[in-house]
């Protein structure tokens, strides 16, 4: 009915793609009828000329339709969260059990880290015995029995996106709002949750460096969810410094457990509660106070059951690194900056992340930020503690931390962690 060349030319010349053109090209690409080089040209045409809200919603629907859609039967409202990725962003770990303890069901199909941002599955694999791969039947059973599941996305979900994302990665076409938004939402819509909260991050450690770009992405994400009948909202959150004090795998699990046990860094608690409130509101449970549920220990109980249901031992000691290197304060002062991107790259170089998707990660690798902006330090106090199993990795990590923090005479002014909430 169409040819790939017609569709490429249409977008190249700045025209809208019709619903039929979009449905055809996504289906033909998934089946291998449209070749990678043709899809690359189309992705570049979209990158340069954009897609409007209707085109983007249809493109997303076509990617959802390229694979299976989960239909999870639970007798409580389902609500999910997606973060666009950050440094020290372990929020899923305390959030999923907390929202489940508040009465919703949280099916959270997650990914692995690539580059300087960590992946939820890599973090949870630091828990001895924990298993990421579940069948649809196991996901369904755990959702009913425990209320929260964090596991790997099954390969049948949005296969068109899997292919297209890999292609965009090597053709300079990742940074396009319609392509990013449709990619994220195709996977989330295929999970079948009835409500979704997006944590769209901005700042040096985020995909979107500015608040304005994060807002444009959030608007596109919320529009797609709404067009598909899913109650969707987005928080715009600051990622210019790492979240919490732990960046890496085992260290982030340990910090999440602290939060679930009533402690943990204030910013991690604040964002967990802000996202929980938004999720509960979309799930029709706004009368439940997540702060009280967190303080009661009920969220920690769900965490323990969620980990055990996937073969993990919540009481087992977490992996420890073979080598620790500490960076200390060169003088007295107040920490004025701590660059999230530099800390993320350093943790990655220490082995916490991967450069290619087939690379292994070190479970014990990461960084502890002993001091963060606003903290008073004395000369010789620890600022950053580097963890790794490969001592050779330390010089490269130190190089990326060169200039990552500064000390000054006064506490820095900082904007709010949650800069705005976008609702339809």
Please report, as ranges, the residues that interact with ligand URA according to CB under 6 A: 165, 174, 179-180, 183-184
Choice between 193 and 309, CB closer to ligand URA:
193
Q: How far is CA 102 from the centre of its chain?
A: 22
Q: How far is the CB of 367 from ligand URA (least distance, A)?
A: 23
Helix (H) or strand (E) holding 149: strand 148-152
Choice between 188 and 277, CB closer to ligand URA:
188
Look up 82 and say whether it is catalytic.
yes
**Choice among 80, 89, 122, 161 that is catalytic:** 161
Choice between 174 and 396, CB closer to ligand URA:
174
Report the C-alpha gap between 60 and 26 in whole angstroms.
Answer: 10
Choice between 183 and 310, CB closer to ligand URA:
183
Choice between 198 and 302, CB closer to ligand URA:
198
Q: Which residues pair with 248 in a beta bridge?
A: 366
- Tokens coding 36: 């990678």
Q: Are 94 and 258 in contact (CB under 8 A)?
A: no
CA atoms within 13 A on the CB side of 29: 32
Choice between 59 and 300, CB closer to ligand URA:
59
Which pairing describes strands 418-422 and 231-238: parallel, antiparallel, or unpaired? antiparallel
Report the C-alpha gap between 366 and 166 in whole angstroms.
Answer: 27
φ, ψ at 143 (rounded to 5°): -65, -40
The position carrying tokens 């330090």 is 377
Look up 76 and say whether it is catalytic.
no
Q: How far is the CB of 224 from ligand URA (least distance, A)?
A: 13
**Choice among 183, 204, 281, 400 that is catalytic:** 183
Q: Are 350 and 365 in contact (CB under 8 A)?
A: yes
Q: How far is the CB of 179 from ligand URA (least distance, A)?
A: 6
Please list, in sequence order, all residues whose beta carbon lies within 8 angstroms of the beta carbon of residue 419, skipping any fewer than 6 positions away.
202, 211, 236, 237, 238
Report the C-alpha gap between 201 and 165 in whole angstroms.
Answer: 20
Look up 183 and say whether it is catalytic.
yes
Could you give the C-alpha distances from 1 to 9, 25, 28, 33, in angstroms and in order?
15, 10, 11, 13
Could you give the C-alpha distances from 41 to 10, 50, 179, 269, 333, in angstroms and in order?
12, 13, 14, 44, 53
Q: Are 313 and 366 in contact (CB under 8 A)?
A: no
Choice between 69 and 166, CB closer to ligand URA:
166
Q: Which residue is nearest to ligand URA (CB)?
A: 183
Q: How far is the CB of 67 from ligand URA (least distance, A)?
A: 15
Q: Are 125 and 30 in contact (CB under 8 A)?
A: no
Look up 187 and say whether it is catalytic.
yes
Q: Which residues pair with 106 in a beta bridge?
A: 148
**Choice among 11, 58, 81, 82 that is catalytic:** 82
Q: How far is the CB of 58 from ligand URA (least distance, A)?
A: 17
Active site positions, annotated: 82, 161, 168, 183, 187
């Amino acid at each position: 009915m169409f040819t790939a060349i017609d569709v490429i030319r249409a977008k190249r010349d700045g025209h809208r793609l019709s619903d039929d053109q979009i449905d055809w090209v996504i289906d033909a690409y998934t089946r291998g009828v449209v070749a990678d080089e043709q899809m690359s040209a189309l992705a570049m045409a979209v990158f340069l000329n954009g897609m409007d809200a209707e085109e983007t919603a249809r493109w997303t629907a076509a990617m959802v339709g390229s694979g299976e859609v989960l239909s999870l039967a639970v007798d409580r409202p389902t609500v999910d969260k997606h973060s666009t990725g950050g440094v020290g962003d372990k929020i899923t770990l305390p959030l999923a059990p907390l929202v489940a303890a508040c009465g919703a069901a949280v099916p959270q199909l997650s990914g692995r880290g690539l580059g300087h941002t960590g992946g939820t599955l890599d973090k949870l694999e630091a828990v001895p015995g924990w298993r990421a791969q579940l069948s649809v039947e196991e996901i369904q059973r755990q959702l009913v029995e425990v209320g929260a599941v964090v596991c790997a996305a099954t390969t049948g979900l949005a296969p068109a996106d899997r292919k297209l994302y890999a292609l965009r990665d090597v053709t300079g076409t990742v940074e396009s709002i319609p392509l990013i938004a449709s990619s994220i939402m195709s996977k989330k819509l295929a999970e079948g949750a009835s409500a979704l909260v997006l944590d769209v991050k901005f700042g040096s450690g985020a995909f979107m460096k500015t608040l304005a770009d994060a807002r444009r992405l959030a608007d596109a994400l919320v529009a797609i969810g709404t067009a598909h009948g899913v109650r969707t909202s987005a928080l715009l959150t600051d990622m210019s410094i790492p979240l919490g004090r732990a960046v890496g795998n085992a260290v982030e699990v340990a910090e999440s457990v602290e939060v679930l046990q009533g402690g943990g860094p204030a910013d991690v608690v604040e964002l967990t509660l802000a996202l929980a409130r938004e999720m509960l509101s979309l799930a029709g449970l706004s009368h439940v106070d997540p702060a009280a549920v967190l303080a009661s220990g009920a969220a920690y109980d769900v965490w323990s059951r969620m980990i055990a249901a996937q073969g993990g031992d919540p009481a087992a000691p977490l992996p420890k690194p073979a080598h620790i290197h500490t960076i200390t304060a060169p003088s007295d002062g107040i920490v004025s900056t701590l660059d999230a991107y530099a800390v993320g790259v350093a943790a990655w170089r220490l082995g916490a992340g991967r450069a290619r998707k087939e690379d292994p990660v070190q479970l014990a690798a990461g960084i502890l930020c002993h001091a963060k902006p606003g903290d008073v330090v004395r000369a010789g106090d620890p600022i950053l503690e580097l963890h790794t199993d490969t001592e050779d990795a330390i010089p490269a990590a130190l190089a990326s931390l060169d200039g990552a923090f500064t000390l000054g005479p006064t506490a820095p002014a900082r904007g709010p962690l949650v800069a705005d909430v976008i609702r339809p």
